[in-house]
Homo-oligomer: A and B are copies of this chain.
Amino acid sequence: MKRILAALVLAIAVCMPWTASADEGMWMLHQVPELQAKLAAMGLQLKADEIWNTKTNSGLASAVAWLGGCSSSFVSPDGLVITNHHCAFGAIQLNSTPEHDYITNGFLAKIPAEELEARGSRVNVFMGYDDVTAAVQGAVKAGMKPEERQKAVESARKQLVAECEKAGVRCSVAEMYGGAKFYLFRMLEIRDVRLVYAPPRAIGEYGGEVDNWMWPRHTGDYSFLRAYVGPDGKPADYSPSNVPYRPARYLKIATDQLREGDFTMIMGYPGRTMRYRLASAIAEDTDFTYPQQIKQLHDVIAILENENKRGKDVEIKLASQLKGLYNTVKKSEGMLEGLTRSDLVARKRAQEQQLAAWIAADPKRTQMYGDVLPAMEKLVVERRATRERDMVLGWLTGGRGGNLLSAAAMIERWTSEKVKPDLEREMGFQQRDERMLRQRMVNMQRNLDLPSERAVLRYSLRRASGLPAGRGIAAIDQLLTATGKSGDAAIDAALDALYSGSKLADLQVRQRLFDADHAAVLASGDPFIAFAAALRQDTDARQAADKRYEGEMLALSPKFFAALGVWRNAPLYADANSTLRFTFATVRGYQPRDAVIYTPFTTLHGVVEKHTGVDPFKCPQRLLDAARLGNLGRYVDPRLNDVPACFLSSNDITGGNSGSPIMNGKGELVGLAFDGDYESMTSDYLFSDALSRTINVDIRYVLWCMDYVDKADILLREIGFEPQHK
């Protein structure tokens, strides 16, 4: 039965282009009313406007907060936030020392005064959004060149943001459908965030890299934070006199049993999908981008694992970075495997041919849309010319050049931009960004480990020096030539000069330069500043090309999506872009391969079954004891006769959704989304009804761990549960 179903779905996916599968779609909140009938039939007991009322700007969605890279939700009137352990990991790591190893042992604030400052963390509370397409597109005039078009749109966006932002409120204009639509989002940015409770890593990260992306899963991937505001109720810097934020809405924890087939909805902030990417661009990803990226990631992991051997303090400093690298490389490998095995390029190409044929079949359509696909195709091919250099450059300037290079680049750019009128500055370097940039300078201090930075930068310089002559990075060619040496000797000499001459490892030096003027910064003689300034010649050229590309796409996308919408004759959702989205589905297992069925719930029994006593399968003794004694309390599911640990649902999510609340038909919290399954990694490109699943930690396992393992009594009471342990 299931096999036949799978075959059927595949057939549909192949034949019907860009058709949303049953549970596919990362919908914007104003689209929910269009889905109301289907949602009600599936089990949603709320009305669309209870999820979000666009007139009053209120509803359940305001309980769903963005942590920047992760999602979360309020679960008490006193600003208590629940998210994934891996989303709170930075805050846990920040407060850990070899003496107080909260990563290993977990952390529990018995009273609010014990809560720990999660420096640098942000809780962004959703306040609403407006369609500003007309205002943005109105800035574009006929006859503009692509780069002019891009600049006009960017200016309009900055203008809208500037008008919108006021004390504590952050605004952003999000581009949807490749620029066919624009929305202005408002978020309350709370910047006093504290760590309340994290289970031991052996629960919160149980299964580690072995189980990452895998089902069956037994990870208790949850943690609690709390949002604080000033006594006036407005966002404020950390202060002992701050008070818990009182959210407009918080989620009730479900007490009904969640079962296979039940309706589930997720709200959260998915980061990025490529559902409408052209086949030729996917081919580029498959043939070049992923293979190259995977090699680089493995190389850097090996370098850092080697650095790790220097001691426990280095290990703590590198933990978060390594965790991220492992996660990325596993995702990239799964993606590449999936893209190759599913022959996605050929399938996408077939779809495009069908769309092209449909357009060509009608003279009017041909006139309206006929040039779109060929023009988009041409842009993809053009970008291919510089791909080797772009990859190394992106890698270097995207953080893999180390913190000192990042700091140098940021200071050089900031001091050069800050003298301009605010609306003319580069995005990311406006007044509104100053606080974040300063915070970033502070944050980088906590994990600064120069030997490992140098090792990674050395790797990047070696790669850059291997680029074909004439297609390399000018700044690096200069850097190496200046040493008067060649090969590895030149690289090592350049690194010696950079690290012995730079003072940027000193926070005060960074802060002083940040406040200096650009000429003084350049005159500081810091070799990293000089290197960063030289690199900017390379990145500026790259950025100009990007802007030209964006300008071209701004003209093409509206036509492309218009054609697609008419062809499909159904609502279209936009690719993920870190804005709030709604996805609905059911609790549902899947068939990963011939003769294997994954059922949708794992259990506490399974947690213990995986325990080997060796990391990452080393349960805390108190968990084993409680399980052995059968202390399961009210958290037992009578059908499973056990505490459910994790569950699968067919919700459509991606990275950024981590920590998202998953809710039942009443809008009550039944768990937290924390992963996707390995078999559907390519769902960023193409959602599969048969294989795409969200992996959630079941709230009953969270509660059981809080109660019987960690005895978080006060916290349990705050979210409405009386502890049951003795």
Taking a contact as CB atoms under 8 Å apart, the answer to whether A593 and B609 are in contact is yes
A602 at the interface (CB under 8 A from B): yes
User: What is the 8 Å Cβ interface bit string for chain A, positions 599-627, against chain B (1 contact, 0 not)?
Assistant: 11111011001100000000000000000
A113 at the interface (CB under 8 A from B): no
User: What is the 8 Å Cβ interface bit string for chain A, positions 630-656, against chain B (1 contact, 0 not)?
Assistant: 000000000011100000000000000
A597 contact set on B, CB distance < 8 A: 596-599
A541 at the interface (CB under 8 A from B): no
A85 at the interface (CB under 8 A from B): no
Report Cα–Cα, A642/B4, bound state, in Å.
Answer: 10
Q: A3-B640, A641-B4 are in contact. Are A595 and B601 (CB under 8 A)?
A: yes
A596 contact set on B, CB distance < 8 A: 216, 596-599
User: What is the 8 Å Cβ interface bit string for chain A, positions 181-218, against chain B (1 contact, 0 not)?
Assistant: 00000000000000000000000000000000001101
Report Cα–Cα, A495/B324, bound state, in Å.
Answer: 55
Taking a contact as CB atoms under 8 Å apart, the answer to whether A3 and B595 are in contact is no
Taking a contact as CB atoms under 8 Å apart, the answer to whether B3 and A605 are in contact is yes
Instruction: Find A595's partner among B593, B599, B641 (CB 8 Å cutoff).
Output: B599
Taking a contact as CB atoms under 8 Å apart, the answer to whether B640 and A594 are in contact is no
Report Cα–Cα, A599/B593, bound state, in Å.
Answer: 11
Q: Give the residues from 430 to 479 in chain A that come closer than 8 angstroms, CB to CB, to chain B.
A: none
Q: Which residue of B lies closest to A216 (CB)?
A: B595
Taking a contact as CB atoms under 8 Å apart, the answer to whether B3 and A594 are in contact is no
A3 contact set on B, CB distance < 8 A: 603, 605, 640-642
Report Cα–Cα, A597/B599, bound state, in Å.
Answer: 7
Q: Give the residues from 274 to 311 in chain A that come closer than 8 angstroms, CB to CB, to chain B.
A: none
Q: How many residues of A contact B (CB 8 A)?
A: 24
A598 contact set on B, CB distance < 8 A: 595-597
Taking a contact as CB atoms under 8 Å apart, the answer to whether B594 and A216 are in contact is yes
A605 contact set on B, CB distance < 8 A: 3, 594
Report Cα–Cα, A3/B609, bound state, in Å.
Answer: 13
Distance (whole angstroms) from the CB of A628 to the closest CB of chain B: 13
Integer count of this chain's copies in the complex: 2
Q: Which residue of B lies closest to A606 (CB)?
A: B594
Q: Give the residues from 237 to 267 in chain A that come closer than 8 angstroms, CB to CB, to chain B.
A: none
A640 contact set on B, CB distance < 8 A: 3
Distance (whole angstroms) from the CB of A187 to the closest CB of chain B: 37
Q: Which of A596, A600, A610 has the most CB of B within 10 A?
A: A596
Report Cα–Cα, A4/B638, bound state, in Å.
Answer: 11
A641 contact set on B, CB distance < 8 A: 3-4
Distance (whole angstroms) from the CB of A121 to the closest CB of chain B: 33
Report Cα–Cα, A602/B594, bound state, in Å.
Answer: 6
Distance (whole angstroms) from the CB of A645 to the closest CB of chain B: 8
Report Cα–Cα, A22/B675, bound state, in Å.
Answer: 40
A595 contact set on B, CB distance < 8 A: 215-216, 589, 598-603, 606
A216 contact set on B, CB distance < 8 A: 593-596
Report Cα–Cα, A640/B600, bound state, in Å.
Answer: 23
Q: Which residue of B lies closest to A600 (CB)?
A: B595
Distance (whole angstroms) from the CB of A206 to the closest CB of chain B: 13
Q: Which residue of B lies closest to A4 (CB)?
A: B641
Q: Which residue of B lies closest to A642 (CB)?
A: B3
Q: Give the residues from 25 to 57 in chain A that come closer than 8 angstroms, CB to CB, to chain B.
A: none
Distance (whole angstroms) from the CB of A54 to the closest CB of chain B: 40
Distance (whole angstroms) from the CB of A636 to the closest CB of chain B: 13
Distance (whole angstroms) from the CB of A338 to the closest CB of chain B: 14
A589 contact set on B, CB distance < 8 A: 595
Report Cα–Cα, A571/B606, bound state, in Å.
Answer: 36
Distance (whole angstroms) from the CB of A158 to the closest CB of chain B: 50
A606 contact set on B, CB distance < 8 A: 593-595
Distance (whole angstroms) from the CB of A648 to the closest CB of chain B: 8
Distance (whole angstroms) from the CB of A79 to the closest CB of chain B: 35
Report Cα–Cα, A529/B496, bound state, in Å.
Answer: 69
User: What is the 8 Å Cβ interface bit string for chain A, positions 1-29, against chain B (1 contact, 0 not)?
Assistant: 00110000000000000000000000000
Report Cα–Cα, A609/B598, bound state, in Å.
Answer: 18
Some 26 contacts from A to B, beta carbons below 8 A apart, are: A3-B603, A3-B641, A3-B642, A4-B641, A215-B595, A216-B594, A216-B595, A216-B596, A218-B594, A589-B595, A593-B606, A594-B602, A594-B603, A594-B605, A594-B606, A594-B609, A594-B610, A595-B602, A595-B603, A595-B606, A596-B597, A596-B598, A596-B599, A597-B597, A597-B598, A597-B599
Task: Report which A residues bind B (CB closer than 8 A).
Answer: 3-4, 215-216, 218, 589, 593-603, 605-606, 609-610, 640-642
The 8 A-B residue pairs whose C-beta atoms are closest, nearest first, are A594-B606, A216-B595, A597-B597, A595-B602, A595-B599, A594-B602, A216-B594, A594-B609
Other 17 A-B pairs with CB < 8 A, given A3-B641, A593-B606, A597-B599:
A3-B603, A3-B605, A4-B641, A215-B595, A216-B595, A218-B594, A589-B595, A594-B602, A594-B606, A594-B609, A594-B610, A595-B598, A595-B601, A595-B602, A595-B603, A596-B597, A596-B599
